[in-house]
């Protein structure tokens, strides 16, 4: 077991934070935690996308020195929504996101933008040697080996803000410097709204059904990924890169209650698990406050009452929810950029009612077959700029093809 990066020791409070993707679900939860623990954290920069009203509201409350949004033309309107005395520096686009996540005064960057668009912020933050609270799992899917290498070179620290990976982090950390060997990492999956359903049922599934996640309140993209099990596929790849565990040693179990967030099976036959109420504020708070552990007063979390429910575990139906297997396959074939691009377009088209639920894995599978004929991408020793250019070129190629895909 080898962590993605050394956990740096010169950590001081209050931490200055740059929140990338502040208007999304993770960003909003992050700000709730900060409201409860202002002695520990200072909001230094906020980056949103298109929702400038929400960003303005957040900015007026926390008054960060820097803001970034997706489109330059929105800067004028954003300024109009800010309080009169408050004059932050406002940047835009990929370049703006890169600058904010590498500001010299920032201690920690929360990378929580949606999908491949989060890669600029992640790579810039790692390149600047920051502590990175990583919610954008796609960054590791697209460029895990590169980010690992860069983090080691730049002494950046990556702490996962994903409930499963934080659970693994908590299970593994006490054994980091011992001889105890990991046999398997077991990621739990809630199974989404369609666990146990048959093919007939899935054929007629509507967008509205897929958006009803039983346990977690999340954005649309990740909610659909949960329903197809692609989210778990991306998380298997994420775990591989974070903990340096071979793919074949990572298993997935469906655990519908979402209480056990993941498990580590050791060579002596024992298993360590982490249990908690399903609430993203836990991993966010843990990453922000690392190596401290803030009290519940600071993270607004509830205690887990173990008497309330029983816990069950099932194997996933890999045949019906084939996205999970496609992710394993893409990792083996080194075509994860292509996997992610195909999935993002498939989900987008499903949300637009332009693709059926069962066509999502069909589209992805066809794109992966196409990708196998392309040259293999190797980012090692690339500069940050060239790595991003190579990733975006391949990403765009697959997106364009996936948009035109017809069954
Ligand atoms: Mn997760």
Residue 213 CA to ligand 1 center (angstroms) comes to 13
Residue 355 CA to ligand 1 center (angstroms) comes to 25
Residue 361 CA to ligand 1 center (angstroms) comes to 20
Phi-psi region of 100 (alpha: psi -120 to 50; beta: other; left: phi over 0): alpha
Residue 190 CA to ligand 1 center (angstroms) comes to 9
- Radius of gyration of the CA atoms of the chain, in A: 20
pLDDT in tens, 26-73: 999 999 999 988 889 999 999 999 999 999 999 999 999 999 999 999
Which stretches of the chain score pLDDT less than 50?
none
Which string of DSSP letters, residue by residue, matches 114-179?
SGGGGHHHHHHHHHTT-EEEE--HHHHHHHHHHHHHHHHHHT-EEEE-SHHHHHHHHHHGGGTTSS
pLDDT score of 174: 80
Rounded Cα distance between 133 and 158, Å, is 6
pLDDT in tens, 7-38: 655 678 899 999 999 999 999 999 999 998 88
Tokens 């992610």 sit on residue: 340
Residue 237 CA to ligand 1 center (angstroms) comes to 12
Residue 222 CA to ligand 1 center (angstroms) comes to 9
Residue 189 CA to ligand 1 center (angstroms) comes to 8
Residue 280 CA to ligand 1 center (angstroms) comes to 9
Tokens 């949300």 sit on residue: 351
The four Cα atoms 96, 102, 106, 108 give a dihedral, to 10 degrees, of 100
pLDDT score of 25: 93
Closest listed residue to residue 138, CA positions, set 67, 204, 221: 221
Residue 163 CA to ligand 1 center (angstroms) comes to 5
pLDDT score of 9: 56
pTM for the whole structure: 0.93
Residue 38 CA to ligand 1 center (angstroms) comes to 27
Residue 137 CA to ligand 1 center (angstroms) comes to 9
pLDDT score of 218: 79
Which string of DSSP letters, residue by residue, matches 351-394?
HTTSS-TTHHHHHHHHHHHHHTTSPPP--TT--HHHHHHHHHHH
pLDDT in tens, 125-173: 999 999 999 999 999 999 999 999 999 999 999 999 999 999 999 999 8
pLDDT score of 214: 77
């Amino acid at each position: 077991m080898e962590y993605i990066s050394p956990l740096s020791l010169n950590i001081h409070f209050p931490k200055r934070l740059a929140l990338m993707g502040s208007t999304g679900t993770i960003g909003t939860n992050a700000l709730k935690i900060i409201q409860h623990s202002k002695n520990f954290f200072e909001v230094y920069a906020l980056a949103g996308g298109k929702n400038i009203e929400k960003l303005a509201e957040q900015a007026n409350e926390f008054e960060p020195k820097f803001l970034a949004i997706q489109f330059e033309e929105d800067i004028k309107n954003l300024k109009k929504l800010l309080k009169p005395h408050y004059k932050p520096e406002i940047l835009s686009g990929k370049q703006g996101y890169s600058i904010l996540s590498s500001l010299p005064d920032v201690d920690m960057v929360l990378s929580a933008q949606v999908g491949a668009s989060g890669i600029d912020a992640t790579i810039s933050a790692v390149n600047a040697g920051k502590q990175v609270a990583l919610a954008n799992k796609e960054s590791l899917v697209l460029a895990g080996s590169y980010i690992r290498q860069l983090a080691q070179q730049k002494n950046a620290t990556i702490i996962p803000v994903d409930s499963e990976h934080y659970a693994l982090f908590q299970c593994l950390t006490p054994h980091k410097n011992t001889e105890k060997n990991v046999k398997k990492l077991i990621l739990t999956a809630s199974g989404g709204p369609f666990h146990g359903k048959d093919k007939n049922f899935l054929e007629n599934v509507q967008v509205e059904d897929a958006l009803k996640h039983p346990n977690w309140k999340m954005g649309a993209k990740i909610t659909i990924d949960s329903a197809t099990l692609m989210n778990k596929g991306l998380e298997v790849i994420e775990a591989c890169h974070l903990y340096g565990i071979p793919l074949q040693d990572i298993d997935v179990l469906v655990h519908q209650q979402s209480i056990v967030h993941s498990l580590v099976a050791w060579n002596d036959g024992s298993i360590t698990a982490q249990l908690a109420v399903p609430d993203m504020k836990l991993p966010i708070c843990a990453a922000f406050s690392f190596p401290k552990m803030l009290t519940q007063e600071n993270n607004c979390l509830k205690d887990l009452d173990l008497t309330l429910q029983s816990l069950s575990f099932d194997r996933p139906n890999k045949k019906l929810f084939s996205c999970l297997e496609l992710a394993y396959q893409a990792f083996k074939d080194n075509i994860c950029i292509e996997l992610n691009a195909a999935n993002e377009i498939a989900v987008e088209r499903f949300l637009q009612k332009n693709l059926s639920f069962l066509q999502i894995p069909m589209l992805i599978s066809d794109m992966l077959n196409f990708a196998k004929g392309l040259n293999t991408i190797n980012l090692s020793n690339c500069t940050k700029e060239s790595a991003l250019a190579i990733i975006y070129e391949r990403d765009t190629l697959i997106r364009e093809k996936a948009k035109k895909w017809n069954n």
